[in-house]
Amino acid sequence: MLNFLVYVIGMLLMFTGIFSLTLTLIRRINDLSLKYVFAVSSCLGILAGITIYVAKRVEPKKLLRFLTLLNRRLLAVASVLVLVALLLLLLSLLFNRWRRFAGGTVDSKEAELQIVRTLRFAALTGFSLSLIPLIAYLLPQMCLKTAEFVAFNEESISTGTLFRLIGYAAGCLLAFLFGLSLFQVYKRLAPGCLYGFACLNYLLLLLDLGMRGISGAARLNWLSSRNNFVFAIMVFEDRSLPYFATIYLLMALLLSVSVYAAHRKLQGEFPTPAKRRKAAWWQRNCRRWSVSLAVFALLCTLTLTAVSSYITRPVKLTPPENYTTEGDQIIIDLQQVQDGHLHRFAYNYQQHNIRFIVVRKPNSNAYGVGLDACSICGIAGYFERGDNVVCKRCDVVMNKATIGFLGGCNPVPFPYVVQDGRIIINKADLEKEANRFPIGA
């Protein structure tokens, strides 16, 4: 249950914040054409996300590489759109500040104001369009996660399935309440504060997308993971979620305090008691939304820090077992691995500790052989929990029958031969995968 809660919050936290912020800015400008752009972009993103999800379900193997590349390109497109839109927004703010201090005629000031409006319109158009690749990237992953409600060899209706469903639903609800509170608090900010927070939020989104892009490019071998800078980005990106969550918490608390303090006392005179009561109700409403944002932001942060740390506490991997070598070949006796349990081995090549696993498949004489790593979770590795093989990073239970096949969180396969009661592996095939296991990892 907790794994699903953390996963959903981690996927949706930043998106709900950006979605709420963009919607608030468009509402503040109150331009009908921008509202149409925002609505159409959201609908196109949902349509693209559903299409990608269906493709992954119908042809998971044939389209695996294409869809993986598509995910990276979606992040790249979103990054470019956010970057351009952020620059336009900053330019509009700087130009607007300069306009206030500069002299000029009424006509020139009106022309300058029109430039500011045009820049903000273009910026918000860019932010709205960035929702298309962002939704197309997130929606399929959220939908595919539901397929894990029922674990391998588990009944469709069970306590485990119910708990996973509860965790998933609780994550969606918490993300929605956080986004709703954020939207309500943003609505109550003064224009200067709103645009200041907007720049910080979009900059944070750009940083997150940039790191994911570099990490994804390295995993696709577009960038070399041997590069110290690239490897450092990959390591940080793998652990960055709690840091981003903490920054979001601090920003949410600052927002809450700002709105709460601005509406703490009723000021001014009112012509009638009815208008005074209405103003007092508005003040209370603002304070309640401020408290609501602080509470939901704190819950999200605790989920991504304390709860995530608890469920991902280190699991000690079993030490590698021994094997024999004959020239350029690694030899593993089938008697050593026929018990159906996970067996881990390691081959050292140029300071790379290349780990791989062997599992006898249930009710079969076939064997699953693959790296102790996958394309999604990296070199986290796999361990046994009861009769199941589980990913150390994402806690997904492996189907032993699919170990040795490409796709999902399965161990990355490589060539091998079963012959004369032995598993024979060419060292050269392992050496090709050396970059997956950085030196010192």
Sheet holding 382-385, edge to edge: 382-385, 388-391, 397-398
- Domain presence at residue 181: yes
Percentage of the chain beyond pLDDT 90 is 15
Rg (alpha carbons) of the chain, rounded to whole number:
27
DSSP state of 388: E
Kindly tell me if the per-residue pLDDT of 153 is higher than 70. no
Residues whose CB falls within 8 Å of the CB of residue 124, separated by 6 or more in sequence, listed in order: 22, 25, 26, 29, 34, 37, 38, 85, 89
Residue-number span of the structural domain to which 269 is assigned = 2-311
Kindly tell me if the per-residue pLDDT of 230 is higher than 70. yes
Confidence of residue 94 (pLDDT cuts 50, 70, 90): confident
| Helix residue spans in 303-402 (DSSP H) | 308-311, 334-337
CB-CB neighbours of 124 under 10 Å = 24
The three-point CA angle 249-253-256 to 5° equals 140
Kindly tell me if the per-residue pLDDT of 152 is higher than 90. no
Residues 266 and 377 in one domain: no
The residue from 248, 280, 311 where one domain ends is: 311
- Domain presence at residue 285: yes
Q: Alpha-carbon distance 105 to 110, whole Å? A: 9
Return the CATH number at 328: 2.102.10.10
Are residues 160 and 154 in contact, defined by beta-carbon separation less than 8 angstroms?
Answer: yes
Residues whose CB falls within 8 Å of the CB of residue 116, separated by 6 or more in sequence, listed in order: 92, 95, 96, 99
- Domain presence at residue 256: yes
Question: What average pLDDT does range 396-412 have in this prediction?
Answer: 77
Query: Looking at 217-221, 253-257, 358-362, which range is the least confident one?
Result: 217-221
The residue among 331, 360, 326 whose CA lies nearest residue 343 is 360
The residue among 418, 218, 243 whose CA lies nearest residue 333 is 418
User: Looking at the whole model, is its pTM more than 0.85?
Assistant: no
CB-CB neighbours of 203 under 10 Å = 14
Confidence of residue 382 (pLDDT cuts 50, 70, 90): confident
Q: Which amino acid is at 413?
A: P
- Domain presence at residue 105: yes
Tokens of 390: 């589980």
- Domain presence at residue 319: no
Residues 174 and 291 in one domain: yes
- pLDDT given at position 405: 78
Residues 293 and 329 in one domain: no
- Domain presence at residue 316: no
User: Which parts of 295-387 are beta strand (E)?
Assistant: 324-326, 329-333, 343-349, 352-360, 367-371, 382-385
Confidence of residue 207 (pLDDT cuts 50, 70, 90): confident
- Domain presence at residue 226: yes
The residue from 246, 279, 311 where one domain ends is: 311
Give tens-digit pLDDT for 22-55: 999 998 888 889 999 999 999 999 999 999 888 8
Q: Alpha-carbon distance 76 to 133, whole Å? A: 9
Q: Alpha-carbon distance 10 to 245, whole Å? A: 9
Q: How many domains does the chain have?
A: 2
Q: Which residue has the higher pLDDT, 341 or 268?
A: 341
Query: Looking at 56-60, 129-133, 298-302, which range is the least confident one?
Result: 56-60
Are residues 389 and 400 in contact, defined by beta-carbon separation less than 8 angstroms?
Answer: yes
Q: Alpha-carbon distance 372 to 354, whole Å? A: 8
